[in-house]
Amino acid sequence: MKRIPTLAMVLLLTVSGADLLPSGSTKKTAFGGSPGLFAQNSTAEREAALSAESSLPVRRIALFSSGVGYFEHSGAISGPSVLVLSFDANAVNDALKSLTIGDPAPGSSPSVSYPSEETLERTLESLGVDLSGNPGTAEIFAAQRGAEIEISAPNPLRGRIVGVELRNLPDPGTSDPRQEAFLSLFTAEGIRLIALKDIVSFVFTDPTLTADIKRALDLIAAHRASRTRTLTLSLNGNGNRNASVSYVISVPVWKVSYRLDLGRPQPLFQGWAIVDNDSDTDWTNVELSLVSGRPVSFIQQLYPPYYYTRPTLPLSIAGTAQARSHAPGYGRNEGVRISGAMAVAESAVEMDERAEVFYDSDKLAAARPRASPPSPSPATVGAVQAAASGYAAGDQFAFTVKNPVTLNRRQSAMIPLVNGNVEAVKTLILSGTRALGGTIHPELALELTNTTGIKLPPGPVTVFDGGTYAGDALIEFFGENGKRLISYGEDLSVNASAVASVDRLVSTVTVTGGVMTITRRQIYKRTYTVQNNSGEARRLIIEHPIIGGTSLAEPASPLEKTGSLYRFLQNLPARGELSFMVQEESPILERITLTQIRLESMVSFSTSQEIPPRIRTALARAVELRQRADAAKQALSDLQTRNTRLMADQDRIRNNLGAVGNDSDLGREYMRRMTELDRDIDGLSKEIDRAAALVQSSQKDLEEYIAGLKL
């Protein structure tokens, strides 16, 4: 589980807010990683913060079901003060996003400073030997060109670093060369090349560089060992006053579990909240609220510095400026005055007013009213009394524990939330979806009515009946006077099954404008059969899944409806059987253009018993006209095919005639056959014209007849 911040706060009395950082330091210096900043984040400072925790302790905690917690510190301070808040590194973004300071001192303008996430890297980069980025020996040497070192390779050698170079050397084991790094060192005898693999040890002769290496290693070790990050709050007001600091951070989600005892004259409903203090700080006498709701909550990376990439432009002195033209303006209004300065001044006043409201704890409290919980009326039933009272908190619902809570670090606790009576009616629930898969047993269930007077968050319910455990159930958010079904087992003495079928029936048929419109009803039937083998009658709720796009036809109305289910209430007799049918319907509209469908489809419609007799008779006449039109089209097609064949023969004979000539006997025979073909083609053309006219007239008769139908 992710750790949440240590909720430690220290109150350090100072002469002024300038003592927050070393002399001359600013927020920019802190981000730059000054040595003093890291010294302030030492173990000694953290121990001082813990020892002074009581100066401004945690007074109020509100845990939300969304996984965040609101923490409020408050206490008395005097004069200018510095507060140090310690957080786990993972929670700093949340703290920066939600931190609120209440300081009623007149003219107070608190400030917050903290070491940047880049402090370590920036500090390492500023040292003489840069160890940021985990450099190797070759990179360290390359960065220290000109520095003097003493090496052992293995003989001692002293000189100044010229550079590091890579050389390709033959590899005895392969034909490919291998690269090896060499240190180029300027010595008294000249420049020497030493393979890095031969260097046993080295030391910089400059003590400053050696000290920087030691300091860099100390910083790296300290940063790795600590997950704590601190925010330093400087309150520069004067006088004795009560100050407060609050923030929202990630915490373990608080949980709830319920117990339902059915063995009493009135069912007893008891709820417990499970709270985890996963921090490294004890909660001592805090006002604890548990809030149920679903607020928007997110993490934004505010702690790490963010740099915007800007374009690089050439210097204005580099070359000459590019020549360009300017389009003329129009509609110029000389009466416009510049009011930017006034706007800035007004904005500054508004900012000052907002700042005063933000930092004034009295005004802050007025702007953030708390809903006072109603006077609780403790339940008189049961040995456990509710330890929390519930009340509306905006659009959410909060439980505030009546007595201050003390919970040690890394400990969890169970706190009674509700202890009262509810209305519970035993019933069986039959799932229509499960029943289609075969024979099943309905679920043992309860229909609960929330008469506790408070809203209840979701959670598991342990059901007891007859003085013993009966089963477990789950309950969703349960509003006041709301009703919920919960199931906690199966009734093995009851068997159930379901059979489904689908029918299509024609409702209406109309013909107008050559279009036949058929309206059908798609009927979905599901019959439930339930057999009770016990000697007791049962109250049964059948949950029937709603088929999309349908309406309920039978029975007329359900007991209730959800987004996906109908619920029907039935009485199941002792040692009896129940048959229950649910029928849903959906309309299906079919539009058919009669002149465009096939003849087989038209014949089918004209003989279908689903079509009314009057329309069948009209369609039968349309079938006759369609058959006549189709016969005329076929006759025309046959004539056209014959004509095409004759013309193909004529073309073939003409080609042969051109090959043998007109004077030969064969040529004269070809001429005779050409004459006969011309005579046949001329006669066939007249038949084609008559057939085409018949096609046109028969098609016209069909179309006019169909267009004139209004049935």
User: For residue range 395-405, what is the model confidence (pLDDT) as tens digits?
Assistant: 567 788 888 88
Cβ-Cβ contacts under 8 Å for 357 (sequence gap 6 or more): 363, 364, 367
Which of the given ranges, 18-32, 265-279, 371-385, has the highest pLDDT on average? Answer: 265-279
3-state secondary structure 135-196: CCHHHHHHHCCCCEEEEECCCEEEEEEEEEEEEEECCCCCCCCEEEEEEEEEECCEEEEEEH
**How many independent structural domains does the chain possess?**
3
Q: How far apart are CA 619 and CA 600, in angstroms?
A: 12
- Which of the pair, 582 or 368, is modelled with greater confidence? 582
Indicate the angle between helix axes 599-607 and 613-660, nearest 10 degrees.
160
User: What is the mean pLDDT of the segment spanning 223-228?
Assistant: 66
Q: How far apart are CA 563 and CA 566, in angstroms?
A: 9
Residue 457 has a pLDDT of 86
Q: How far apart are CA 87 and CA 69, in angstroms?
A: 14
In this model, does residue 19 exceed pLDDT 70?
A: no
Residue 282 has a pLDDT of 86
- Which of the pair, 552 or 134, is modelled with greater confidence? 552
Instruction: Select from 544, 550, 552 the least CA-distant residue to 433.
Output: 544
Evaluate whether residue 49 is within a structural domain. no
* Contact predicate 293/66, CB 8 Å: yes
- Whether residues 496 and 583 share a domain: the answer is yes
- Whether residues 632 and 512 share a domain: the answer is no
In this model, does residue 32 exceed pLDDT 80?
A: no
Evaluate whether residue 130 is within a structural domain. no
Binned at pLDDT 50, 70 and 90, residue 544 comes out as very high
Which residue, of 575, 593, 611, is where some domain finishes?
Answer: 593
| Cis? peptide before 555, omega within 30° of 0 | yes
Identify the three-state secondary structure at position 19: helix
- Whether residues 589 and 607 share a domain: the answer is no
Q: CB-based burial of residue 245 (10 Å sphere; 0-12 exposed, 13-18 middle, 19+ buried)?
A: buried
In this model, does residue 7 exceed pLDDT 50?
A: no
Q: What percent of the chain has pLDDT over 70?
A: 78
Mean pLDDT for the chain? Answer: 77
Evaluate whether residue 363 is within a structural domain. no
Evaluate whether residue 321 is within a structural domain. no
User: What is the mean pLDDT of the segment spanning 82-103?
Assistant: 87
Which residue, of 593, 622, 645, is where some domain finishes?
Answer: 593
- Whether residues 429 and 552 share a domain: the answer is yes
Which of the given ranges, 75-89, 169-183, 241-255, has the highest pLDDT on average? Answer: 241-255
Of the listed ranges 136-140, 314-318, 649-653, 693-697, the one predicted with least confidence? 314-318
User: What is the mean pLDDT of the segment spanning 46-65?
Assistant: 64
Residue 392 has a pLDDT of 57
Evaluate whether residue 5 is within a structural domain. no
Q: Domain containing 201: what range?
A: 148-205
Residue 198 has a pLDDT of 86
- Whether residues 430 and 537 share a domain: the answer is yes
Q: CB-based burial of residue 265 (10 Å sphere; 0-12 exposed, 13-18 middle, 19+ buried)?
A: exposed
Residue 119 has a pLDDT of 66
Evaluate whether residue 142 is within a structural domain. no
User: What is the mean pLDDT of the segment spanning 226-238?
Assistant: 82
Q: How far apart are CA 571 and CA 576, in angstroms?
A: 10
Q: What percent of the chain has pLDDT over 90?
A: 22
User: What is the mean pLDDT of the segment spanning 120-132?
Assistant: 79
In this model, does residue 261 exceed pLDDT 60?
A: yes
Of the listed ranges 25-39, 101-115, 199-213, 490-504, the one predicted with least confidence? 25-39
In this model, does residue 379 exceed pLDDT 90?
A: no
- Whether residues 654 and 674 share a domain: the answer is yes
What amino acid is encoded at 597 in this protein? I
Residue 453 has a pLDDT of 83
Residue 3 has a pLDDT of 36
Residue 57 phi, psi dihedral angles, 5° rounding: -80, 170
Cβ-Cβ contacts under 8 Å for 256 (sequence gap 6 or more): 271, 272, 273, 274, 417, 456, 457, 458, 459
Instruction: Select from 153, 139, 243, 250 the least CA-distant residue to 194.
Output: 153
**361 vs 288, 310, 351, 476, 650, CA distance in Å?**
21, 41, 17, 39, 112
- Whether residues 538 and 636 share a domain: the answer is no
Binned at pLDDT 50, 70 and 90, residue 527 comes out as very high
State the CB neighbour count (10 A cutoff) for residue 567.
Answer: 15
Evaluate whether residue 527 is within a structural domain. yes
Binned at pLDDT 50, 70 and 90, residue 21 comes out as very low
Beta strands in 513-611 (DSSP E): 515-532, 538-545, 551-554, 560-561, 565-572, 577-593
- Whether residues 557 and 700 share a domain: the answer is no
* Contact predicate 38/123, CB 8 Å: yes
Q: How far apart are CA 493 and CA 501, in angstroms?
A: 28
Residue 601 phi, psi dihedral angles, 5° rounding: -65, -40
In this model, does residue 449 exceed pLDDT 50?
A: yes
Q: Biggest alpha carbon distance in the chain?
A: 141
Residue 314 has a pLDDT of 65
- Give 663-689 pLDDT, tens digit per residue: 777 878 878 888 888 888 888 888 888
What amino acid is encoded at 363 in this protein? K
Binned at pLDDT 50, 70 and 90, residue 316 comes out as low
Tokens 């059979």, located at residue: 499
- Whether residues 603 and 620 share a domain: the answer is yes
- Whether residues 539 and 628 share a domain: the answer is no
| Cis? peptide before 587, omega within 30° of 0 | no
In this model, does residue 4 exceed pLDDT 50?
A: no
State the CB neighbour count (10 A cutoff) for residue 648.
Answer: 9
Residue 222 has a pLDDT of 66
Residue 695 has a pLDDT of 87
- Which of the pair, 539 or 16, is modelled with greater confidence? 539
- Predicted TM-score (pTM) of the model is 0.57
3-state secondary structure 436-504: CCCCECCEEEEEEECCCCCCECCEEEEEEECCEEEEEEEECCECCCCEEEEEEEECCCEEEEEEEEEEE
In this model, does residue 28 exceed pLDDT 60?
A: no
Which residue, of 180, 205, 230, is where some domain finishes?
Answer: 205
Evaluate whether residue 507 is within a structural domain. yes
- Whether residues 570 and 436 share a domain: the answer is yes
- Whether residues 548 and 577 share a domain: the answer is yes
User: What is the mean pLDDT of the segment spanning 555-577?
Assistant: 91
User: What is the mean pLDDT of the segment spanning 16-23?
Assistant: 28
Q: How far apart are CA 569 and CA 559, in angstroms?
A: 6
Binned at pLDDT 50, 70 and 90, residue 393 comes out as low
In this model, does residue 351 exceed pLDDT 50?
A: no
- Which of the pair, 492 or 655, is modelled with greater confidence? 492
Which structure tokens are listed for 291?
């809030």
**217 vs 42, 122, 211, CA distance in Å?**
15, 14, 10
Identify the three-state secondary structure at position 304: coil
In this model, does residue 137 exceed pLDDT 60?
A: yes
Residue 55 has a pLDDT of 66
Of the listed ranges 217-226, 525-534, 678-687, the one predicted with least confidence? 217-226
